[in-house]
Every structure is written in C-alpha cells, then in structure tokens.
Amino acid sequence: MIRYRLALALTLVCSAAQAQRLPDGVHPEHYTLALTPDLKAATFSGEETIDVTMDRPAKSITLNAAEIQFLDVSETPTGGTAPAQTAVITKDDSKEQAMFTFPQTLSGKVTLHIRYNGILNDKLRGFYLSKTPLRNYAVTQFEPTDARRAFPSFDEPALKATFDIALTVDANDTVISNTNIIEDKPSSVPKKHTLRFATTPKMSTYLVAFLVGDFQCSTGRVDDTPIRACSTPDKVKLTKFAVDAAEFSLHYYDNYFGIKYPMPKLDMVALPDFEAGAMENFGCLTYRETDLLVDEKSANIPAQKRVAEVVAHELSHQWFGDMVTMQWWDNLWLNEGFATWMEHKAAGAWHPEWNFPQDDATNLSDTLDYDAEGTTRPIRATVNTPDQINQMFDRISYEKAGAVIGMVENYLGEQAFRAGVHNYLQAHLYGNATAEDFWTAQTTNSHQPVDKIMQSFVENSGVPLVSLTQTQPGGVGASEVTFSLSQNAAISDRTANWSIPVCFKTADKPVCDVLTPQRKSLPVPANAPILFANAASKGYYRVTYTPQQYSAILAKVTTALTPAERINLIGDRWALMQSGSGDVGEFLDLALVLKQEPNAAVLAHVLDKVSDVHDLIATGADRARLESVIRTQFSPIYKAMGGPQRHEPYDHQEMRSTLFGILGWAKDPTVMSQARQMTNDLFTGKRSDDPGLIDAAVGLAAGTGDRDLYDSMMVAVQRAVVDPNLEEEILHTLAFFQDPALVKRTLEYVVSGQVRNQDSASILAVLLSQTETQDQAWKWVQEHWPAVKAQLTVNSGAHVVGALHNFCTVQRRDEVKSFFATHTVEASDTALTKSLQSIDDCIRLRAVQAPNLNRWLDTHASVGHPASVGQ
Ligand SMILES: [Zn+2]
C-alpha cells in the first residue's frame, strides 16, 4: 500500500492489548466465493466454501468476520460421504472473530459452507461503496485487516490459500479482480450476469480484490503480460500515462528480480473514493484517482513523477509482498520499506532527468528528523490488534526501512545486493518470510556482516549519531550514540549496539567501513578532498564534525559535495541546532552560504528549514525581520533568473518555482503581484506563460485572497470534477485562505457532506497545522466535534490529531491533552502522544533558540518596517 501523500505519519506505542490472533491448528487451502452486491441498497449476499486442513481433531473452528450477518454454516469432510453437519455460530465482535461449533468432531480435510449477508459501507475499507454524481461503484480495500468485512476468512497474512471468485452484477457492469474472467453468463436473477475468475495463486487474504462498475481502460503489453489502466468512463483519457509507466516498471522488475511476473494480466484501477494512495492487490492494483490519472499533455512534471513512483511502488509489491509476504504485521517493513526504496530505482531508470537522488536525500533528511523524536519506535514492533496494525503504516515502516535498505545496497554494491534479493525471493515464493530470512540471505551471499547491521537498525529505535574527532594522522575517531531531540537539551548518550556502515567521500568512489561498539576508530581514506562521512547521502545516521572539519567542508561545499550530499549536510546541521548543540544563527549562515546554490532541491531543502525557523522559533517582530532577510537575499537571484525559456531543464523550472514560493511566503511585493495576476489569468481563461508556477501562485494568492477569489475557487472545484488532480489542487487551496470569515467557510464546507471522506481530513489537517489558521481551526473543531468526528475514517482521525503537532505553547498543549482525554478517536493514541511530544519539543527549541535568532537578525536584517524593504 502507499499512503496518501498529505497524510501525516504516525508512530506506534505498544499498549497492553488483548491478543486478537486466530488460534493455530487450522489451515485454509482454498476459498470459493460467490458474491452478489446490491449497489443501490448498499448490501451484498455471499456464498462461500473454505477447504481447510486441521492439524488435530476439534469440534470448533474460529475465523475472522466483521459486520457479517451469518445465515447458515455447515461442514462436509472433503471428498467424503459423511452427511453435512450444521454449526452453532458464536460471534466475538470485539475480536472480529466467529467460532463455528459442530456436534461431531472434525479432523483432516474439511469443507466449510457459509451463507451470509454484508454491508457495502462508506468507510473506505472492506467491500465498500465509491460514488460519483452519476452512480455507485462497489470496490474493495482489505489491507491490513478488512477482508473479514467482505468474506469470513482466516484473515492473517501467513494463512495463504487459493481463491475462486465469482460475482453476480448488473448486466451493464463489469468486475475486475485478481485474475482473468473465465466465464460470463446470464444470471438466474433478471438483468444480471455472473462473472467467474480463474483460480488465483496461493496468496494472503489482504491481497484479494473485486471492483464492480462500468470501468473503462487503456491497454498495453510487456513481456507477454497484458496491462490495463482503468477508471470511470469520463476519465479514461487520463489513463495512458500509467500504462506507459507500468510497461517500463514491469519489464524492469522482471529483469531485476530474475523472476517473471506470474499473473496472467496486470490491471490498475483508479477509484473515486480511496483512502490510501494505492494498493498492491495481486494482479489488480487500486489507486486514488490523483495517483494514477494524469493528462500527459498538460500535467506538470511533479504530477507525472508522482504517478510513475506510485505505479513503480505497487508493481514492486507484486514480488515483495504478494509473491513473498511478511509472516506477520510486525515485519510490515519488509513490504513497505522495500517498495519505498524500489519505487525510485525503477522510476529513476525510466526518467533519470527527474532528479530522484535529490528526492531520496530530502526524504532521508526528513525521516531522520522524524525518527529523532522521543516518541519514535523501532522498525519492527509488536502488534496484535487491528488498531495497532493500522498504526504500523507510518514513516518508519516506509521511509526509514527504505533508507536502511538503500544503505545496505550502497555498502554491498548493486550486484551483490540484487543477488541476495533474488535468493531471498526464490527461497520463499508464494510463502512468508521474516526479517531474519532477508538479512540471512544477504549475509550468506555477500559474506559481509549485513545481519548485524540490519538487526541493529531494525531493532534499535531512533537515529545513530556518528561524532568525528581527529586522532593520529590518517585515522579518525568516531563514536556512536543514539541521537535524540527530546531528551533534555543535549544529544543523548543513550547507547545502543549500532553497527553502522560509515561511508567516506573520496575523490573517486566512496570508501565504507563498519563502525561497531568494539571498533570506534576508522582509517581516513587516502584521497579524500574533505572529511565528509556520509558519501552519496545513503547512510542512515547523523554526523557531527569538529569545527575545523566543518569549516573545511563549508569552504568547498558546492564543488566537493554532490547535491544529495549537500542536502545531507543541511539536515545534519539543522538536527544539531534542534537538539540544542548548535546555534540557529550558524544554521542561517549556512543558508546564506548556499544562496547561490545551483541545484533546486538543495535550495528547497535549506529554505524549507528557514521557514521552520520562522514558524517554530521566531516570535513577534522577528518573524517580519526574517522575512525581510529572505527578500533582500533571494529577490535579486529570482530576478536574475528571468522568465521561462523554451526547452528549459526540469531543475531550472524547479529553481524558479522554489524561489517564487519562498519570496511569496516572505511577502515580496513583486512576487505577490505576479501571483495575483497569474491567478486572475487562470480564472479568466488566459493561458499562463509559466505553468510551473501556477500551483504556487494560486496558493499565495489565496493566502491574501478575498471573498471574490474564494467564490471563484468554489465554482472551479465543481467544474474540476473531470480532472482529479485539478480538483484536489483547488480543494486543498481553500485551506490557504487566511481571512477568518473564509477559514470559517472552509471548515463548514469540509463537514458539509459535499467533500469526499478521503479529502476532508487532509484539508482539516492543513488548517490545523498552519500558523496563520491553526488557532481558529482548533477552536472551531472543538466546538463542532460531532460534525468533525462524523467525517473521520479509521485512518483519517489520526491525521487530524497528528496535525496538532505544530502548536508551540503550554496552553495549547494542555488544551489538546484535555480535549482528547474525553473525545476519543479510533487508532490515534500514538498520534496524540506524538503531537504532545512535538509541542513540548517546540516549546524547548523556542526557549533556547529565540534569543540566538534575535541576535543574528540584529546583524542581518535591515532596520525598519518590512513593507519598506525589498520593493
Ligand atoms: Zn506499499
């Protein structure tokens, strides 16, 4: 699965919870499912048989079921002649389980027969309704624990089975499922037909899918696999790009893994209501519309990149996740870390000019920040309940695990790592595996200590800090402790048994050496131009240098370091400052050293941190003074760039867009009037000569926008339904309006029932996290809690709670704490803990750094009213 990109990631704290695992001893072998959904009544009926093998004789069988109304359950010995016997059904709703108890003891191979009814819910999980203004669709999302809402099942990833699926649907509708349709015949029910699908390979229940509606598709083919990208009929013209992306990625993976994609076809389907970004159901991938549909002719590169990444992510899961599945959800990282790392490998091979290495470096830096908070968790954590499992889908399982995998590949070399991956997959095909299986395969193949390295990163929580000191000539002392933002003001001395492959920059290729608790001094490579200890920005650790080492790096920062390494350095210095060991003035000095930075991603990363200085540290007049510094320093650079040129490189467009965005944010009058003009042109139908700036322009114009502009946006939202990207863009722009009357309108609109569940929480989250709107939004949310809560799904509630992390006062922290003590939100306890911790961290950061910022501004900001500067 890929998370929705606006979602705020959460972490997990293990609480004492009732174990909800199924009892052992019963193994499903094969399911036969026949479902008849009623899209108008929002219900469905099901007939199911499950062939199971019993390890030992027993009178009862327990499986998972939720929101299922059983009609009758019976069993027959498989292949035998004994009469059927009927079960007494005992449901345990709190465990989402049902127990079938039979008069006679069962043993060996048994076939269960189950007839039941279910509901097509509106909570975007299980078998649910997805709606457009024209009609309803019935679709599925089962990961992690919602197959049990569609069919009673042994709903755990290790309990794999084969599936025969059939659906009876309206004559004009079709069904897309994991395999091909093998039979299509009229039903005994008038005006309906029954579609039967080929038997699936052995697979986990959470990967089953069936999608009912009038979908239309574009088609392609690669390596003898037919590929389709499908949508509602009005959007099928936006599906071609995804087919191209899938053709490239599927062929890439067939080669990379050395194991051919096994399904008879590959379908990718965009769904109007979809909570996650996308889902890797075996052979039947589902997507949020904005993550699959794109107009190749008009979409900007970020929108195309997003689709390419998500397609590459879901396709890599067909191997990592679908063919070989984690044994249990505690090792979710095996699925998600791998797919997160792999998505840029494939998409980067397709479009090398899209600068994925810089994106990876920025992601790494942001993830290290996230992981340094006191509320973090290890990559592998104990989980038992659906609530706990849902909270595993966070930045740690995705980005941290992906970064650790990238670090290991960098250490071993591409070919050795790839051979280890192949061996691991081959050994567990159509089965399940654990973390130990993965690192043992890599260690056996490479004869390097991958097991020790990976174990230390999978089991220790947080971020290791490598502190360099100068020892005797030719050597460097490097100590390793766990870095933390949240323990006192200083870097923690928490020790963990880290084994870290530290890679030094040299004139040619990086030289890596493993730092362990027993080995704390490493030789410095002979031909290093500077001592930089995270070559290629692949290592999952922070580095501190001596003042002399840092000065030497700074002197050659744009010539000796790659863009990815510069992003890494920015992150290290920012983290050091945040932990209280550095001065915010020194960080801002680095930002000014990088002001002529030639790479857009590097500049974007450092300016992103400068805006954090503004939001988290600056108060009162210092905010305006910091804005004036930005205008004075960066406005000349923006002006010197000029307008767009024909055949402009992507990086150049990004640079202009970054500068435009930060100057608008700093209230630069020239940029603001350009933003208003571009927005006006957009709404009066004039073509822009700089489309790369439009998104930023509309957002900036909204910030100071009035009622007329707001009304235009509302009209545009209604009209934009034909282009999901545009619709989402405009919808989220509503959250940027700062006029209190308009903020109120947005809040009311979000809970009015006119905004899809999938979008309402993310708009609320923006309103709750922006410094300009958060106070008003928070007050309103408390006063209108029942209406807000009615919009929340199992995952989106945590996004709303997580958005409160941006407050920075004791009063707000106490309000948040006491409000949620009496107003509960599903699966959000860890989001709340994390928000409260972030607020505390911010209070401390501000207390330490605000005086330093004030001093720095005394020597760098022009004196006077901000409006008189930069005009
Ligand atoms: Zn995924």
Average of pLDDT values for 558-574? 96
pLDDT digits (tens, 9 = 90+) for 269-282: 999 998 889 999 99
Query: What's the gap in Å between 643 CA and the centre of ligand 1?
Result: 39
Question: What is the pLDDT, as a whole number, of residue 869?
Answer: 39
Kindly indicate the confidence band of residue 672, based on its pLDDT and cuts at 50, 70 and 90: very high
Residues near 621 by beta carbon (within 8 Å), at least 6 away in sequence: none
Question: What is the pLDDT, as a whole number, of residue 871?
Answer: 35
Which strands make up the sheet holding 475-483, listed edge to edge? 521-523, 475-483, 463-470, 542-544
Lowest mean pLDDT among 67-71, 344-348, 436-440, 595-599: 595-599
Q: Give the tokens for residue 658.
A: 């970054």
Catalytic member of 96, 309, 314, 654: 314
Contacts by 753-759, CB closer than 8 A, 24 or more apart:
755/731, 755/791, 756/272, 756/273, 757/122, 757/123, 757/124, 757/273, 757/275, 757/791, 757/793, 757/796, 758/4, 758/124, 758/273, 758/274, 758/275, 758/288, 758/796, 759/728, 759/731, 759/732
Look at residue 238 and tell me whether its pLDDT is greater than 80: yes
Query: What's the gap in Å between 819 CA and the centre of ligand 1?
Result: 34
Residue 203 dihedral angles phi and psi, to the nearest 5°:
-155, 165
Kindly indicate the confidence band of residue 60, based on its pLDDT and cuts at 50, 70 and 90: very high
Average pLDDT, the chain: 91
Helix (H, G, I), strand (E, B) or coil at 564: helix
State whether the Cα torsion 446-448-451-456 is positive or negative: negative
pLDDT digits (tens, 9 = 90+) for 595-633: 999 999 999 999 999 999 999 999 999 999 999 999 999
For the beta carbon of residue 357, count every other beta carbon within 10 angstroms: 20
pLDDT digits (tens, 9 = 90+) for 320-338: 999 999 999 999 999 999 9
Q: Give the tokens for residue 831.
A: 């989001």
Q: At what angle do helices 669-683 and 650-665 cross, to 10 degrees?
A: 110
Cβ atoms of 502 and 580 within 8 Å: the answer is no
314 is known as an active-site residue: yes
Based on its alpha-carbon atoms, the radius of gyration of the chain, rounded to whole angstroms, reads 28
Look at residue 453 and tell me whether its pLDDT is greater than 90: yes
Query: What's the gap in Å between 397 CA and the centre of ligand 1?
Result: 10
Question: What is the pLDDT, as a whole number, of residue 417?
Answer: 98
Q: Could you tell me which of 367, 492, 375 has the C-alpha nearest to residue 837?
A: 375
Kindly indicate the confidence band of residue 479, based on its pLDDT and cuts at 50, 70 and 90: low
Query: What's the gap in Å between 689 CA and the centre of ligand 1?
Result: 37
Query: What's the gap in Å between 18 CA and the centre of ligand 1?
Result: 27
With a pLDDT cut of 90, the percent of the chain lying above it is 75
Strand partners, 166: 34, 196
Question: What is the pLDDT, as a whole number, of residue 759?
Answer: 86
Indicate left, alpha or beta for 80 from its phi (over 0: left) and psi (-120 to 50: alpha).
Answer: beta
Cβ atoms of 507 and 538 within 8 Å: the answer is no
Look at residue 64 and tell me whether its pLDDT is greater than 90: yes
Query: What's the gap in Å between 280 CA and the centre of ligand 1?
Result: 7
Question: What is the pLDDT, as a whole number, of residue 864?
Answer: 46
pLDDT digits (tens, 9 = 90+) for 222-233: 999 999 999 999
Query: What's the gap in Å between 569 CA and the centre of ligand 1?
Result: 29
Question: What is the pLDDT, as a whole number, of residue 867?
Answer: 43
Query: What's the gap in Å between 232 CA and the centre of ligand 1?
Result: 24
Specify the DSSP element, H or E, that contains 593.
helix 584-593
Question: What is the pLDDT, as a whole number, of residue 852?
Answer: 97
Look at residue 437 and tell me whether its pLDDT is greater than 60: yes
Look at residue 580 and tell me whether its pLDDT is greater than 90: no
Looking at 453-534, which runs of residues are DSSP E strands?
463-470, 475-483, 500-504, 511-515, 521-523
Look at residue 79 and tell me whether its pLDDT is greater than 80: no
Query: What's the gap in Å between 277 CA and the centre of ligand 1?
Result: 9
Question: What is the pLDDT, as a whole number, of residue 2?
Answer: 67
Domains of the chain: 27-330 (2.60.40.1730), 465-542 (2.60.40.1910)
Q: Give the tokens for residue 494.
A: 């928490």
pLDDT digits (tens, 9 = 90+) for 350-365: 999 999 999 999 999 9
Alpha carbon distance, N-terminus to C-terminus of the chain = 48
Question: What is the pLDDT, as a whole number, of residue 478?
Answer: 64
- How many Å apart are CA 715 and CA 712, to the nearest integer? 5
Query: What's the gap in Å between 403 CA and the centre of ligand 1?
Result: 15
Question: What is the pLDDT, as a whole number, of residue 9?
Answer: 32
Q: Give the tokens for residue 477.
A: 């002392």
Look at residue 11 and tell me whether its pLDDT is greater than 60: no
Residue 110 dihedral angles phi and psi, to the nearest 5°:
-135, 145
pLDDT digits (tens, 9 = 90+) for 504-556: 988 778 889 898 888 877 887 777 778 899 999 999 999 998 898 899 999 99
Specify the DSSP element, H or E, that contains 139.
strand 136-141
Strand partners, 72: 115
Look at residue 5 and tell me whether its pLDDT is greater than 90: no
Question: What is the pLDDT, as a whole number, of residue 481?
Answer: 61
pLDDT digits (tens, 9 = 90+) for 778-833: 999 999 999 999 888 877 888 899 999 999 999 999 999 999 999 988 878 889 99
Question: What is the pLDDT, as a whole number, of residue 868?
Answer: 40
- How many Å apart are CA 300 and CA 302, to the nearest integer? 6
